[in-house]
Amino acid sequence: MKKIIKLFDPHVGSEEEKAIKKTLKSHFWASGSGTGQVEEFEKKFKNYINSGSCIAVNSGTSALHLALSLFPLKNRKVILPSLSFVSTAHAVLYNGGKPIFVDVEPDTLCINPEEIQKKITSNTDVILPVHFGGMPAKISEIKEICNANNCNLVEDAAHAAGSLYKNRKIGSHGMAVCFSFHPVKNLGMPTGGLVSLNGPEHKKNAKLLKIKRWCGISNRRGVDYDITDLGWNFYMNEFSASIGLVQLSKLDKLNKKRKKIAKRYSKELCLENKMKFDNDCNYHLYWIRIKNRMNFMKELKRLGIETGIHYKPIHQMTYYKQNSKLPITETIGKEIVSLPIHPNLTNDDIDFIIKSINKLS
Ligand SMILES: Cc1ncc(COP(=O)(O)O)c(C=O)c1O
């Protein structure tokens, strides 16, 4: 049977198996109950990224939804890139806000601070950069724009577990930073996410988000409780947390493997347009740009190499159709191809991918 080189593949070892069995046998599976692994994960992740507070939730989408609920966004504007997974924009709409899409930089595919400046108005409350593929966006420049315009910085760090910006882990900079632990992410769980909070209000905000994460339940005293806010059922479950604890303990090691592959791709692929190598990036994705990409992808599939498209721009989706002109995003949307980059790839796999692409291009 022909070997298939998968685009994504979670790294699973005997420790994850042991953790799952232990949780199963504990009979405490629900919302942070029993053996307290959700709380343990929050504590360990907070220490890992060195942030103010961490609130674990059931997905990256929930993390964004919850984080943006900190602001009264009704009819207010949020600036974000269109080159992202649709949850980045959906989270703005869930909170009654208006997404304003701006263009990205062609080398990092992260939001361009100069384009933010052009679109910012007195109605803008939040700037929401995405660390695309794990490549850190220009946080310092964006923070300056936020300060000058009385806006808040919320980061979509769904791709960026373990990435660095100015020698500090992503998660320790913005007022709220949202992670995804979807199974294909660098830190994978069956389903999971997290909001990291920083700044002088982090404790107060954490208290509020913890209430909202579980249906607005507060003031629990024995079997009595009150509802003080509208909330959702966004709690992380104990199975996810138990796997997450194992994955967190090996995250740096796994990211190192991804970086090694990215270094080879950026050096050995004979392509003009490809992701550059940056030691601060965790390489959740590795992208290249190909003019006639459908034939290219079909040919790689025939050879047993899976590829993907991340992403079709959000402003071009039927639900979001806007007249925004985002020339770089639109060109990239037509040409971008993601290559396999995960710790399960062997040296032979990487050799084969590089050789196959160089033959085709
Ligand atoms: C940039 C980005 N934001 C948000 C999300 C949503 O995360 P989740 O799938 O955990 O809900 C994803 C998921 O892939 C993503 O890539």
Angstrom distance (rounded) from CA 195 to CA 193: 7
- According to DSSP H, which parts of the chain are helical? 14-26, 37-49, 60-68, 87-94, 113-119, 139-149, 202-213, 238-249, 251-268, 293-302, 327-335, 347-360
Predicted pLDDT at 283: 98
- Which of 7, 82, 85 is the best mutation target for the ligand 1 pocket, counting ligand atoms within 8 Å of the beta carbon and taking the most? 85
User: What is the whole-number distance in angstroms between the Cα of residue 235 and the centre of ligand 1?
Assistant: 16
Kindly state the tokens that stand for 77.
């504007």
Does the CB atom of residue 85 touch ligand 1 within 6 A?
A: yes
Predicted pLDDT at 33: 63
Kindly list the averaged pLDDT for each block of 10 residues, start to end, along the chain of length 361: 92 95 92 82 98 98 98 97 98 98 98 98 98 98 98 98 98 98 97 97 98 95 93 96 97 98 98 97 98 96 98 96 89 98 97 97 84
Spatial CA neighbour of 135 closest among 356, 343, 347, 310: 310
Does the CB atom of residue 234 touch ligand 1 within 6 A?
A: no
pLDDT digits (tens, 9 = 90+) for 55-104: 999 999 999 999 999 999 999 999 999 999 999 999 999 999 999 999 99
Does the CB atom of residue 338 touch ligand 1 within 6 A?
A: no
Angstrom distance (rounded) from CA 270 to CA 359: 9
235 strand-pairing partners: 57
Predicted pLDDT at 293: 97
For the chain, how many helices (H) and strands (E)? 12, 13
Based on its alpha-carbon atoms, the radius of gyration of the chain, rounded to whole angstroms, reads 21
| Cβ neighbours for 324, distance < 8 A, ≥ 6 positions apart | 82, 101, 315
Predicted pLDDT at 147: 97
φ, ψ (nearest 5 deg) of residue 168 = -125, 145
Predicted pLDDT at 120: 97
Spatial CA neighbour of 58 closest among 287, 241, 321: 241
**Ligand 1: nearest atom to the Cα of 130:** 1
Predicted pLDDT at 286: 98
Kindly state the tokens that stand for 331.
């060109």
Predicted pLDDT at 30: 85
Give the global pTM.
Answer: 0.98
Cβ(227)–Cβ(95) under 8 Å?
A: no
Q: Tally the C-alpha atoms within 13 A of residue 13's C-alpha that lie toward its C-beta.
A: 10
Residue 227: how many CB atoms within 10 A of its CB? 12
| Cβ neighbours for 361, distance < 8 A, ≥ 6 positions apart | 270, 271, 290, 296
Query: The dihedral of CA 144, 158, 329, 271: what is its sign?
Result: positive
